[in-house]
């Protein structure tokens, strides 16, 4: 090389790929921050009051330490003076009476109902609703249509017509309804607390040919269980009127999660299978009375005419728990002041029962084929003190009403002891009898269905009872939804087998 020394190329500074990538990433991040800061409505995950630090959330001023709070509490609070010694309430019976008085005042004097229930009424095809009502109406005069035990079919349908009364009120124009503060109909499913199924299961059972009825039951089952609302809750928030124990019997096991409207529970298993019905889920509703309502004028006029001690008119031979009727007849038939008669159908039978009840102080109400009997509600609306002999009986509206104030509930074992029941009834003082009768006069309206439905009538109390179940219904719906589908097997809240899968023949 020229020049006497060795020449080297100029040294250039090289950048590593990592360094270049880092610079590019920072530049992109800076551009993103600039543009995103100018977006019109950035998402705000937490709203902070302007008085608070915009970058932190300050807890409200309070004591969050148990020790600190306890120290302040003990040093600044002194024990309250002892409550006055209310000697009148030291006895359980006196306390019980005071509770009854307070509850009655809240019910009548200062009613404060919760927000109204919101009910969605399904618009089912007319073959499940209007067609069945027309069928009943057009065959009503056919009194020759009797059940196997001789009861007029149409009269049985009337006794169990709670499905009509509730539905007719729900679908009436809101301007005509008197229960708007208790229950309202909504027309959007997402707004509903509950869903009402307007299928007349009792009419279809008694007036349709057997195979036609079963086919209609299967159609109704499929129609309802295909609804998205049913699938969402598995029927837990659906109301199913099955007030006659035979109605919907062939398929109702597939709807056991629904709220069933029943005449009783029958825990003996003769009518309902174990796990199908229970008080926490279902609702007991009264029969529609067979006799006319004894109003205040009637009540006053009949007081002096009640000369019979104990009265019963009805079928003397019944199945299942109703077998006690024959035993009671044997025990009571010869007792003084007791009238026991075999019931008869038609207007004549109704008039005889009504007359007998209005002439009696006490009316015997034993079990029928099921633990309940229409006789109980006939007695109540007649002003006749019911003597209930039915060990398995569940009563309507018992979360609201105290039946000890309007009826006598006697165990079967006591009632069948020779001479015991008559001696017990005669031992009740005239003042106690008057108190029972006064309570009956006041509370009998709770057992009347009407249109329009009346405040404190049977429909009103039914919705109040259902409202008390609503939180528990929502709890079980959410429990059933909370686990990712098919991720594991669920144990139901009753720790029973999962719901029965509907066979393909019914789909």
Two structure tokens written together for 6? 């060795």
Q: Measure CA of the first residue to CA of the last residue in the chain; give whole Å.
A: 101
Q: Which two tokens stand for residue 206?
A: 């008694």
Q: Which residue has the higher pLDDT, 97 or 133?
A: 133
Closest CA relative to residue 399, chosen from 284, 272, 242: 284
Q: Quick check: 403 pLDDT over 80?
A: yes
Q: What pLDDT score does 49 carry? A: 47
Residues 282-317 have pLDDT tens digits of 999 999 999 999 998 999 999 999 999 999 998 877
Closest to 160 in 3D by CA, of 323, 349, 368: 368
pLDDT of residue 272: 83
Residues forming a β-bridge with 185: 119
Does pLDDT of 204 surpass 70?
yes
Instruction: Report which of 180, 175, 59 is spatially closest to residue 119, judged by C-alpha positions.
Output: 180
Three-state DSSP state, 405: helix
SS3 letters for 233-276? HCCCCEEEECCCCCCCCCCHHHHCCCEEEECCCCCCCCCCCCCC
Q: Do the Cβ atoms of 425 and 400 come closer than 8 Å?
A: no
User: Three-state SS for 345?
Assistant: coil
CA dihedral (278, 244, 284, 428) positive or negative: negative
Contact (CB, 8 A) for 243 and 288 = no
- Is the omega angle on the peptide bond into residue 209 within 30 degrees of 0, that is, cis? no
Q: Identify the weakest region by mean pLDDT among 41-45, 271-275, 408-412, 419-423.
A: 41-45
Alpha carbon 383 to chain centroid, angstroms: 27
Asked whether residue 41 carries a pLDDT value surpassing 50, the answer given is no
pLDDT (average), residues 352-379: 92
pTM (two decimals): 0.78
């Amino acid at each position: 090389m020229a020049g006497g020394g060795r020449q080297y190329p100029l040294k250039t500074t090289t950048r590593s790929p990592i360094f270049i990538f880092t610079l590019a990433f920072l530049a992109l991040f800076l551009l993103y921050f600039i543009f995103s800061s100018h977006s019109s409505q950035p998402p705000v995950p937490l709203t902070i009051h302007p008085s608070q630090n915009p970058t932190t959330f300050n807890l409200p001023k309070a004591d969050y330490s148990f020790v600190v709070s306890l120290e302040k509490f003990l040093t600044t609070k002194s024990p309250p003076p002892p409550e006055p010694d209310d000697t009148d309430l030291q006895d359980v019976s006196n306390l019980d009476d005071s509770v009854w008085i307070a509850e009655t005042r809240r019910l009548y004097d200062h009613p404060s109902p919760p927000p109204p229930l919101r009910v969605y009424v399904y618009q089912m095809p007319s073959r499940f609703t209007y067609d069945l009502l027309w069928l009943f109406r057009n065959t009503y005069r056919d009194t020759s249509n009797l059940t196997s035990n001789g009861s007029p079919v149409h009269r049985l349908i009337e006794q169990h017509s709670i499905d009509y009364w509730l539905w007719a009120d729900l679908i009436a124009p809101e301007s005509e309804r008197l229960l708007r503060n208790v229950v309202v109909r909504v027309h959007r499913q997402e707004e509903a607390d509950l869903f009402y199924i307007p299928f007349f299961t009792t009419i279809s059972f008694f007036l349709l040919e057997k195979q036609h009825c079963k086919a209609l039951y299967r159609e109704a089952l499929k129609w309802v269980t295909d609804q998205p609302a049913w699938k969402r809750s598995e029927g837990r928030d659906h109301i199913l009127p099955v007030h006659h124990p035979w109605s919907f019997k062939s398929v109702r096991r597939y709807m056991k999660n629904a709220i069933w409207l029943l005449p009783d529970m029958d825990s003996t298993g003769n009518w309902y299978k174990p796990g199908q019905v229970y008080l926490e889920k279902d609702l007991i509703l009264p029969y529609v009375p067979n006799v006319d309502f004894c109003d205040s004028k009637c009540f006053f006029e009949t007081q002096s005419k009640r000369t019979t001690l104990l009265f019963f008119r009805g079928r003397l031979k019944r199945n299942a728990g109703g077998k006690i009727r024959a035993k009671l007849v044997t025990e009571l038939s010869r007792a003084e002041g007791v009238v026991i008669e075999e019931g008869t159908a038609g207007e004549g039978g109704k008039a005889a029962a009504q007359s007998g009840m209005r002439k009696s102080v006490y009316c015997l109400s034993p079990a029928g084929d099921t633990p309940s009997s229409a006789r109980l509600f006939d007695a109540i609306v007649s002003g006749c003190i019911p003597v209930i002999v039915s060990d398995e009986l569940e009563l309507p509206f018992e979360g609201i009403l105290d039946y000890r104030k309007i009826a006598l509930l006697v165990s079967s074992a006591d009632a069948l002891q020779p001479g015991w029941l008559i001696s017990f009834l005669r031992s009740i003082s005239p003042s106690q009898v008057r108190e029972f009768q006064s309570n009956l006069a006041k509370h009998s309206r709770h057992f009347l269905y009407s249109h329009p439905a009346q405040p404190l009538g049977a429909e009103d109390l039914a919705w109040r009872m259902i409202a008390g179940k609503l939180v528990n219904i929502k709890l079980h719906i959410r429990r059933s939804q909370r686990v990712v589908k098919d991720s594991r097997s669920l144990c139901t809240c009753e720790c029973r087998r999962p719901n029965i899968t509907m066979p393909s023949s019914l789909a």
